[in-house]
Amino acid sequence: MSSYINTPVPDAHQYFPLNEPPIGSYLSLERERPALFQTLVLRGMKFKNRIFVSPMCQYSSDNGHATDWHLVHIGGFATRGVGAICMEATAVVPEGRIAPEDAGIWTDTQTEPLRRIVDFCHAQGTKIGIQLAHAGRKASTHAPWVQNKAGRGASHTASEQENGWPDNVYGPSNLAFSDKYPTPKAMTGQEMNDLESAFLSAINRCERAGFDFIELHAAHGYLFHSFVSPLSNVRDDEYGGQPLENRMRFPLRIVDACRKAWPDKPLFVRISASDWAEGPEQDEAGTWKQWGIEQSKIFTGELQKLGVDLVDCSSGGNWAKQTIPLKHGYQVHFAEALKRAHPTLAVGAVGLITDPLEAESYVKSGKADVVFLARELIRNPHWALHAAHKLGAKVKPANQYERGWW
């Protein structure tokens, strides 16, 4: 006599129905598989599709500790068909947070709340990583909705009375992002050494939490981006100034140390491919004026040499007066340029990606290997399944949600 059992996920920390194949897997074997739903293998790790969740700051942590907000926010994506999730910018030291309520991984007590989220995502068959970060000269600022309450033109700096640390902000040089941000202290050699140790300790905690991959944040005007850009790095030592190799030296040093400490799993790096400042990237005399795609190509090549598995290509965030032509996929041409320069390196495209047909074209044409979505997934967490429907493909929804799709 046959018996029918609602099979559980084996070895999970709670009972969860087993989804076979995993949620978000392609099912329509009778037709060509869309590029978005092709699998991807990085350092031996298989991702079920090419739709990744971008890191999204939630400004909702309790002294750096993840809360049930993060479990619900991240867990919701894990049940809705994405190929992978990257948790938000997570500071490796307290002063590396963007805002007082940002996520952290500088102490052991922050590991267990993260592990709970990782375990849930794994029980749903979804890969999950974390973005390790230091905000640099853009640290000790308000959460966006707090800043909105302050009003237009108000200071972005979170004071000590507002749980900030404006006198403990660091960057490559003592240049503020703007007059509304803290004035940073130029990092000393010892402070660089200490930060390298903090990244290595954070990686050890990532391993204990069970993350599948790590992304290092080198974009949006935060510490590593501010080191590579001549607009924010005017040091006169081996870590700064006009020579590109000097400005890349400290970020590459941290990447190298992290790669060696995280040898068996994928390592991503998010970069800003352009400062979007006025004028050329390089003048006729060969002087680098701002950070742009030509230096990004060189930087990306160095990252690949160090064993980075994927470059997550964003832009902007380092020049307060930036002017960006916002439209669907407005940053994809940067990813395409990096992919063309380094065809064997996986590249991710980001930036107001909303339309499934456009997203499919980016991957199918080879402009990028994956797409990272954020705001569109906030509006529509089931975007992966909607994309499959629009592409005429059949993709596995969660058992519990099947009746809404089939």
Distance between CA 236 and CA 245 in Å, rounded?
13
Is 0.75 topped by the overall pTM? yes
Q: What pLDDT is attached to residue 30? A: 67
pLDDT band of residue 152 (cuts 50, 70, 90) is: confident
Q: pLDDT tens, 94-118?
A: 999 999 999 999 999 999 999 999 9
Beta bridge partners, 271, equal 218, 313
Distance between CA 217 and CA 200 in Å, rounded?
15
Q: How large a percentage of the chain has pLDDT more than 90?
A: 95
Q: What pLDDT is attached to residue 316? A: 97
Q: pLDDT tens, 51-91?
A: 999 999 999 999 999 999 999 999 999 999 999 999 999 99
Token pair recorded at residue 70: 């993060």
What domains appear along the chain, each with residue ranges and CATH number?
35-267+350-404 (3.20.20.70)
Beta bridge partners, 84, equal 52, 127
Q: What pLDDT is attached to residue 187? A: 98
Q: What pLDDT is attached to residue 263? A: 98
Phi and psi dihedrals of 232, rounded to 5?
A: -120, -10
Q: Give the Å distances, CA to CA, from 156 to 153, 318, 340.
A: 9, 15, 38
Mean pLDDT of 40-48: 98
CA nearest neighbour of 177 among 115, 231, 214, 216: 231
Whether the per-residue pLDDT at 14 is higher than 90: the answer is yes
**Collapsed DSSP state (helix, strand, coil) of residue 373:** strand
Q: pLDDT tens, 341-359?
A: 999 999 999 999 999 999 9
Looking at every residue in the chain, the average pLDDT score rounds to 96
Distance between CA 64 and CA 94 in Å, rounded?
8
Q: Which of 26, 222, 239, 362 is catalytic?
A: 222
250 within 8 A of 265, measured Cβ to Cβ: no
Q: What pLDDT is attached to residue 405? A: 87
Q: pLDDT tens, 282-314?
A: 999 999 999 999 999 999 999 999 999 999 999
Q: What pLDDT is attached to residue 392? A: 92
Q: What pLDDT is attached to residue 2? A: 63
Distance between CA 240 and CA 248 in Å, rounded?
8
Distance between CA 368 and CA 387 in Å, rounded?
17
Whether the per-residue pLDDT at 186 is higher than 60: the answer is yes
Distance between CA 300 and CA 298 in Å, rounded?
5
Q: Count the helices and strands in the chain (H runs, E runs).
A: 11, 13
DSSP code, position 273: S
Residue 222 annotated as catalytic: yes
Q: What pLDDT is attached to residue 28? A: 77
146-155, 174-183, 382-391, range with the lowest pLDDT: 146-155
**Collapsed DSSP state (helix, strand, coil) of residue 109:** helix
105 within 8 A of 132, measured Cβ to Cβ: yes
Whether the per-residue pLDDT at 1 is higher than 60: the answer is no
Distance between CA 168 and CA 190 in Å, rounded?
15
Q: pLDDT tens, 371-394?
A: 999 999 999 999 999 999 999 999
Q: What pLDDT is attached to residue 18? A: 97
